[in-house]
Amino acid sequence: MKSDFYIGRYALIELFTRADSMNANLINDVIITNSECITTIFPAWWMFNWDLDGTNERFEFCDNYNMSLERMDELCKEITSLFERKELGYPNTIFNIDTARYLYDKYFSFIDRIKLIGIGLEKKEANNYLEYNKPIGENEGELGIYQLLKKKILIDTSKIIGYEILGCDLGILHSVLCNKLETDIFDKLNMKPNKFGLYDSYDETLKACKFIREECDAENALWQPWIVCEYNLRDRSDK
């Protein structure tokens, strides 16, 4: 079904294993998060050909996932080409499900712990994001999420798995887990994450964002409740 949430990003996201610093009474051993601070999100910023700062990350990925340097070079060329054809946005936004599935089939299907995830914002929150991340000056480009939210495409919520509190700062999405706030949220609002590490109620997640902004020692970021949907990696009926 469709709802009044706008799609902000599709991405291939690797499942995250709970860190020792996180509350084991609240967070499952393996969860889903959309924060690039604590998990791997594909495509990654270092996969764009022009980003020479990503050389070490490319070598590390090849070592960790047994990918040849030739294959990595092919992947980076593909990512850059898709960006130029406006099918991807920087740093890690896929603009449609078909492109996400294409990348999964061609480059990432050997990774067992990958999920196809779509995230979005309610209309008012989407406008807040667009205002907060509006480019300043002619030389500043638009973030991928900014570009997709601006199109105001309603997200398909048939596969909703919860809501995640994410704080945007300089284009990076931070999780409450980055700030170790899951315990504060539980103690103050009696909110416990579901099996995915997400929250089940949008209204409660909205309250938690207000709590973080006003009462918590969190990063100076735009904290918002993002809807999180999981789609089949190969089911072409999802749009």
What does the pLDDT look like over 136-154, one tens digit per residue? 877 678 999 999 999 999 9
pLDDT per residue over 13-55, tens digit each? 999 999 999 999 999 999 999 999 899 999 998 999 886 667 8
For the chain, the domains span 2-231
Q: Are 237 and 98 in contact (CB under 8 A)?
A: no
pLDDT in tens, 171-211: 889 999 987 899 999 999 999 999 999 999 999 999 999 99
Indicate the pTM of the whole model.
Answer: 0.93
Q: What is the pLDDT of residue 1?
A: 41
Integer Cα distance of 151 and 231 in angstroms: 21
**Residue 238 — pLDDT band, cuts 50, 70, 90?**
low
- 198: nearest Cα among 238, 153, 230: 230
Average pLDDT, the chain: 92
Give 236's pLDDT tier (boundaries 50, 70, 90): low
